[in-house]
Chain A
Amino acid sequence: MSVLAPDRMVARDLPQVTPPAAPYRLLDIARSQPGMALGGGLLVLLLLIAIVAPTLGTVDPTAVSTARRLRPPSAEFWFGTDAFGRDLYSRVVYGARVSLAVGLITALVASAVGLAIGLVSGYVRWSDWVIMRVMDGVMSIPPVLLAVALMTLTRASVGNVIIAITLAEIPRVSRLVRGLVLSLREQPFVDAAIAAGTTTPRIIWRHILPNTLPALTVQATYICASAMVIEAILSFIGAGTPSSVPSWGNIMADGRALWQVKPSLIFIPALFLSVTVLAVNVLGDGLRDALDPRRPQAG
């Protein structure tokens, strides 16, 4: 790319070669970043499904009926029913709400808090040692155990699941950001900004922080994906979302006993979980490429 820079320079000087006016047109992104378009598209679709779940021909996902236990898929029950006669289709669609909420909220909160901690510890040198040792401590607790502990202390709730996973992810984010800040603060453009008379808060806000965002955004997508998986694990072992709320992990846990009789009780929510996690990961990979301002521009 750097080899090509002078050529591009010359090309841009010619009046007839005009660069695209809006570099972020959706179609351009789709063409240059097919992975991002696919992942983002799938994720938007799943979000829509979660939001409009009540209008998608679903019934009450918690309605129990002994009369229609373990029905096969039919026009009435698209994915069949489970051991309590609950409509599997409705449960899976409503389960998207839990998974996506856990994934997105965890990613947002963990990124924001981790970013703040990382910026402070990377820029304020004396705080670094203390903060990083605390982070090491938090990091050494497996998120699943932390969640189990929280559940036993309080009670099962989606909020607790989010807290447990977020706590476990914050040290990872703050480490990432701290490392970036340590290398960014030595960059000549930071020296140049200091030499131009810029104040320290402004340097952090305008020069350091924006340069951490590409890596942080990518990390956030991975956190989102892993949070959804951990939520499913926690629910599966009964330490997560309360069983009254359908989540993909819960549905799989309920279907576990009937694994040999009716594998679709596990396969269908697992398929949804896998596709969602895959979509988020693919989106993350695409973002990593797209957010690098030095990437060669399409066209």
Chain B
Amino acid sequence: MLLAVENLHVHFRTADGVLRAVDGVSLQVDEGQTLAIVGESGSGKSVTANSILRLIAEPPGRIAGVIRWRGADLLALSQRQVRKIRGGEIGVIFQEPTTSLNPVLSIGHQLVETLRLHERLDRAAAERRAVELLASVGLPEPQRRIGDYPHLLSGGMQQRVMIALALAGSPKLLIADEPTAALDVTIQAQILELLRDFRRRTGAALLLITHDMGVVAEAAARVIVMYAGRKVEEASTKNLFRTPRHPYTRALLGAVPRLGAGTRRLAEINGAAPSLLQRGTGCAFASRCTSATEICRRVTPPLEAKAPGHVAACHHAAKEMVAA
């Protein structure tokens, strides 16, 4: 077990009250595994990812629960110890490559700096490693490009540099928060291929945060679906796509365009996600759910196993009896 998050709560104190961004989420990532977290904006998926490395500002944020990284509780570590893990054992790739690179430092500079944070390297050795890293993420002519400033690169190239930066510390886990959201589709495919290739070569695990079911299908072995700060379903990618148990998952899958599906209108999900400021009783998705009944509005559905390795939080999800 590489990473185990148990009962994670992340709350933010705001002027309007306490915002429960993440409300009791548990997840596990094994060595070499790819776990995807999907959900719409505001579902808490990025906050979950950011709290793993304690990148949430405290205050106004507050993180509770247990985050176990190779046995050690990350929430109990000192700032100094967490800093060692950040960019070292755990690398992070952010959504916006354009703004995630410092505009006044050349990419080589930023790489050398990050490399030297985590390894004892002299400048020349770090520069050689930087060129290697840039080559390994598929940046053409890394030797010449190393002095370039970020604005000289295209979005796809910038994201390659971001990945090189995340790989600088030879991480065992890579957290990728919407790594392809700002890129066009062909570049998306290249970046996903790059991440897959990196996993194959190093055996590192990947925690992929995305809102794109297409990306999930392509990259992840397991999926967690989040809605309004809670995990509503978790299964292997294959099972989730074949038999989605939660109506929200079904709705998400219905909103994915498919080739050869004719001119059918994409199914949209009516309504908006509920406010995270006050949580009523009942299922958070009930007001938008087509199959919601009385019990959905009254009782919060527990997360329970519906099939082997498949959990969902829905009163109406069919339960497949496990042959004992």
> Which residue of the partner chain, among B99, B104, B149, contacts A188 with CB atoms under 8 Å?
B99
Is B140 within 8 A of A196, CB to CB? no
Q: A13-B140, A197-B118, A293-B103 are in contact. Are A192 and B154 (CB under 8 A)?
A: no
With A197-B117, A206-B105, A207-B102: A5-B154 Cβ-Cβ less than 8 Å: yes
Q: Within the assembled complex, what's the spacing in Å between the Cα atoms of A8 and B140?
A: 15
- CB pair B86 A188 closer than 8 Å: no
Q: B55's contact among A6, A195, A294, by CB below 8 Å, is which?
A: A195
Distance between Cα atoms of A270 and B125 in the complex (Å): 58
Q: Which residues of B contact A145 (CB under 8 A)?
A: none
Chain B hits for A193, CB < 8 A: 102
- The distance from the CB of A58 to the nearest CB of chain B, in whole angstroms, is 44
Instruction: Say which residue of B99, B149, B153, B169 sits within 8 Å of A197 (CB atoms).
Output: B169
Contacts of A12 in B (CB 8 A): 152
Interface size on A, residues (CB 8 A): 25
Interface hits, B72-126 → A, CB 8 Å: 83-88, 91-92, 94-96, 99-105, 113-114, 117-118
Query: In the complex where A5-B151, A12-B152, A294-B151 touch, is A195 in contact with B86 (Cβ < 8 A)?
Result: yes
In the bound complex, residues from chain B placing their C-beta under 8 Å from that of A188 are 94-96, 99-100
Per-residue CB contact flags for chain B residues 148-190 toward chain A (1 = under 8 Å, else 0) read: 0101111001000010011011000000000000000000000
Residues of B in contact with A, size category = 35 or more
Contact residues in A for B223 (Cβ distance below 8 Å):
none
CB distance from B94 to the nearest CB of A (A): 6
Interface residues of A in 191-231 (CB under 8 A from B): 191-199, 206-207, 210-211, 213
Interchain nearest-CB distance for B317 vs A (Å): 36
The one of B85, B165, B169 in contact with A192, judged by C-beta atoms closer than 8 angstroms, is B165
- Which residue of B55, B104, B149 contacts A191 across the interface (Cβ within 8 Å)? B55
In the complex, per-residue mask of A13-29: 1 if CB is within 8 Å of any chain B CB, else 0: 10000000000000000
A residues within 8 A CB of B226? none
Whether a CB of chain B sits under 8 angstroms from the CB of A129 is no
Q: Closest residue to A1 on the B side, CB-wise?
A: B151
Nearest-neighbor residue (CB-CB) of B89 within chain A = A197
* Interface contact tally, CB-CB below 8 A: 83
Residue of A nearest to B88 (CB): A197
Whether A189 contacts B101 by the Cβ 8 Å rule is yes
Residues of B near A6 (CB, < 8 A) are 154
User: Judging by beta carbons under 8 Å apart, are A189 and B154 in contact?
Assistant: no
Rounded to whole Å, the gap between the CB of B23 and the closest CB of chain A is 23
Q: Which partner residue on chain A sits nearest B156 by CB separation?
A: A9
CA–CA, A198 and B157, complex, Å = 23
Q: Which residues of B contact A194 (CB under 8 A)?
A: 55, 86
Contacts of B154 in A (CB 8 A): 5-6, 9
B138 CB, nearest partner CB in chain A, Å: 13
Chain A residues with Cβ below 8 Å from B113 are: 198, 206
Nearest Cβ distance between residue A294 and chain B, in whole angstroms? 5
B104 touches A293 (CB 8 A): yes
**B165 partner, pick from A196, A199, A211, beta carbons under 8 A:** A196
Q: Report A-chain residues with C-beta under 8 Å of the C-beta of B140.
A: 13
Q: Are B151 and A196 in contact (CB under 8 A)?
A: no
Question: Is B84 in contact with A197, judged by CB distance below 8 angstroms?
Answer: yes
Closest to A296 in B: B151
A187 contacts partner chain B, Cβ-Cβ < 8 Å: yes
A11 to B95, CA, bound (A): 26
A211 touches B102 (CB 8 A): yes
Interface residues of A (CB under 8 A from B): 5-6, 8-9, 12-13, 187-189, 191-199, 206-207, 210-211, 213, 293-294
For this complex, 26 residue pairs linking A to B, each with C-beta atoms less than 8 Å apart, are A5-B151, A6-B154, A8-B152, A9-B153, A12-B152, A188-B94, A188-B100, A189-B100, A189-B101, A189-B102, A191-B55, A191-B94, A192-B92, A192-B94, A192-B101, A196-B114, A196-B165, A197-B84, A197-B114, A197-B118, A198-B83, A198-B113, A198-B117, A210-B105, A293-B103, A293-B104
The 10 closest A-B pairs by CB, nearest first: A196-B87, A197-B87, A197-B86, A195-B92, A188-B99, A188-B100, A9-B154, A192-B100, A189-B102, A210-B104
Known: A6-B154, A198-B113, A210-B104. 9 other contacts (CB 8 A): A195-B87, A195-B94, A196-B86, A197-B84, A197-B118, A199-B83, A206-B102, A210-B105, A213-B104
